[in-house]
């Protein structure tokens, strides 16, 4: 008998091109998984199978488009055939919330390539999965969660990837400035939890604040476990 594993998609979900922001008072949102981006980077981490990292596309029940990363490694995502799924809002706290804020503020604007997006996702996993109290690191043996390898990558490729992720994590922990993003967790008891980030309100009615308000939120990428 052949057993097929569900694909697992991971990423941070942000309201995207439709210009829809997620109101603070919202308690839940209904999302439909649409598709993944073809381009991908395949990697393996502790507690996971191989992941093809790339954009995950969602549509909300109100018609807004979303791109996504997830929080959980071991739960499956709801496929398109599963239809709309309801996710409830909650928040991050403590060191996790601080590090995620620092990660978005210091690194997201520089993320452009598929490798950089995969590294950013791996940094999210480290922040949300690491159980040790020491500095965040995905170097093998440095903690309970770590990066293992890029599929088909050389030792130099793996080392470069680890350095990139650890650079993101170092900058995230070193950040002690204002919270520029509002971070929420979208939770579903059956499927993977997601992160929602919105640009935080700027207290002054400046031109820049108006420009930021018009941006709504930004889309991010996701990882996908291979079917077997």
| Residue whose C-alpha is closest to residue 66's, from 51, 52, 77, 50 | 77
The yes-or-no verdict on residue 66 having pLDDT over 90 is: no
Quote the pLDDT of residue 202. Answer: 57
The token pair that represents 164 in the structure block: 């990139």
Quote the pLDDT of residue 34. Answer: 84
Distance of CA 25 to the CA centre of its chain: 22
Segment 102-113 shows an average pLDDT of 92
| 217 pLDDT tier (thresholds 50, 70, 90) | very low
The yes-or-no verdict on residue 150 having pLDDT over 80 is: yes
The yes-or-no verdict on residue 135 having pLDDT over 80 is: yes
The yes-or-no verdict on residue 11 having pLDDT over 50 is: no
Q: Which residue has the tokens 């093998």?
A: 140
Phi-psi region of 7 (alpha: psi -120 to 50; beta: other; left: phi over 0): beta
Strands 9-15 and 194-199: parallel
């Amino acid at each position: 008998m052949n057993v097929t594993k569900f694909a697992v998609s991971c990423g941070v979900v942000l309201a995207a091109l439709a210009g829809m922001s997620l109101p603070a008072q919202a308690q839940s949102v209904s999302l439909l998984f649409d598709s993944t981006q073809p381009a991908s980077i395949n990697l393996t981490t502790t507690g996971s199978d191989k992941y093809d990292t790339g954009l995950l596309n969602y549509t909300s029940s109100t018609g807004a488009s979303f791109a996504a990363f997830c929080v959980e490694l071991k739960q499956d995502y709801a496929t398109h055939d599963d239809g709309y799924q309801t996710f409830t809002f909650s928040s991050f706290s403590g060191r996790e919330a601080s590090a995620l804020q620092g990660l978005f503020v210091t690194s997201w604007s520089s993320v452009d390539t598929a490798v950089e997006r995969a590294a950013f996702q791996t940094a999210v996993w480290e922040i949300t999965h690491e159980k040790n109290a020491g500095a965040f690191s995905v170097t093998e043996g440095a903690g309970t969660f770590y990066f293992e390898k890029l599929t088909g990558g050389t030792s130099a490729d793996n080392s470069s990837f680890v350095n990139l992720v650890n650079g993101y994590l170092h900058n995230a922990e070193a950040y002690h400035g204002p919270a520029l993003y509002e971070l929420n967790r979208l939770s579903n008891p059956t499927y993977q939890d997601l992160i929602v980030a919105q640009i935080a309100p700027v207290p002054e009615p400046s031109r820049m604040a108006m420009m930021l308000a018009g941006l709504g939120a930004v889309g991010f990428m996701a990882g996908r476990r291979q079917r077997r």
